[in-house]
Structure 1
Amino acid sequence: MYEEIPRVELTPAAADMVRRLSASHGPLMFHQSGGCCDGSAPMCYPEGEFKTGGSDVLLAELAVDGVDDRVGFWMSKSQFEVWSHTRLIVDVVDGRGSGFSLEAPEGVRFLIRSRVIGG
Structure 2
Amino acid sequence: MDTTLESRPAIPDEDFSRVALSASAVDLLGKLWNRHGPLMFHQSGGCCDGSSPMCFPAGEFKTGNSDILLGVFTLPDAEGNALGDIDFWMSREQFEYWRHTKLTVDVVTGRGAGFSVEAPEGKRFLIRSEIMDPHPA
Normalised to the residue count of structure 1, the TM-score between the two structures is 0.92
Which residue identity lines up with residue 86 of structure 1 in the other structure? T
CA distance in 2, matches of 1:101, 1:39: 10
Q: Secondary structure at the match of 1:70?
A: strand
Structure with the higher strand share, 1 or 2: 2
CA contact (8 A) 2:76 2:84 kept: no
C-alpha distance in structure 2 between counterparts of 1:47 and 1:58, whole Å: 13
SS of match in other structure, 1:105: helix
Q: Does 1:101 align with 2:112?
A: no
- Report the equivalent of 2:101: 86
Aligned residues: 116
Could you say which residue in structure 2 is the equivalent of 1:113? 128
Equivalent position SS for 1:38: helix
Amino acid at match of 1:76: S
- Alignment pair present for 1:13 and 2:24: yes
| Superposition RMSD in Å | 1.3
Give the structure, 1 or 2, with the largest relative contact order (CA under 8 Å, sep 6 or more): 1
| Post-superposition CA distance 1:22-75 (Å, at most 9, x none) | 000000000010113413100000000000000000001112211521100000
Residue 56 of structure 2 is aligned to residue 45 of structure 1: yes
Asked whether 1:72 is paired with 2:87, we answer: yes
User: What is the alpha-carbon distance in structure 1 between the residues aligned to residue 38 and residue 90 of structure 2?
Assistant: 18
Secondary structure, aligned partner of 2:17:
coil
The more displaced of 61-70 and 42-51 is: 61-70
Aligned ranges 1:48-59 → 2 under 5 Å: 48-59=59-70
Gaps of 5+ in 1: none
For 2:4, the equivalent position in structure 1 comes to: none
Other structure's SS at 1:69 match? strand
Instruction: Give the superposition deviation at 1:5.
Output: 4.1
Q: When the two structures are superposed, what TM-score results if normalisation uses the length of structure 2?
A: 0.80
Deviant stretches of 4+, over 6 Å: none
